[in-house]
Amino acid sequence: MPYIARADYAKQKEFVGNGECVTLVRHLTGARASSLWREGNKVPDLLEQGGIAKGTVIATFVNGRYQDLRQGNHAALFIRQVPGGIAIFDQWRNHKPSARVIYFGRSAAGASNRPERYSIVE
C-alpha cells in the first residue's frame, strides 16, 4: 500500500530532521523506516496506466529494496506528470524542501534525476 502525504505538504519550507530525503517523506506521510520499504510499481508504468496520486512517496530501488546510501538514491513525493517528466517535492542536504521537475531520458543524470528510476514505495 503506497504512502501519501497530507494535502498541505508544500507548506514545508524548512529542513526536516537531518535534511535527508527520507526524513522529509517519512515526516510528511508517516511512512515506516526505509529499511522496510519495498518496491511497488514503476513510475513510468503507472503514468501509462492512468497516473499516480499527488503526494505519493516514490523512491529509487535496487533489487526491490531502498538502498540507504549517502548518494545515488533518492526518495520524494510525486506531484504530477509534466511534458517529458514529472514534478516532485523533495529535500536533500543543502536543498530545502521544494518542488522541482525531473525529465525522462537524461542518461547522464544521476538516479535521483531520472523519473524512469523511481517506483512507488510500499
pLDDT tens column, 57-100:
999 999 999 997 777 799 999 999 999 999 999 999 999 999 99
- Domain spans of the chain? 9-121
Order of all β-strands in the sheet with 75-82: 39-42, 118-121, 57-60, 75-82, 85-92, 95-103
Query: For position 71, what pLDDT does the model report?
Result: 74
Give the separation between CA 84 and CA 105, rounded to whole angstroms: 9
Given a contact cutoff of 8 angstroms between Cβ atoms, the answer to whether 89 and 79 are in contact is yes
What is the reported pLDDT for 41?
A: 98
Mean pLDDT across the stretch 95-118?
91
Show which residues are catalytic. 21, 74
Query: 108: pLDDT confidence band, cut at 50, 70 and 90?
Result: low
Mean pLDDT of the 92-118 span: 91
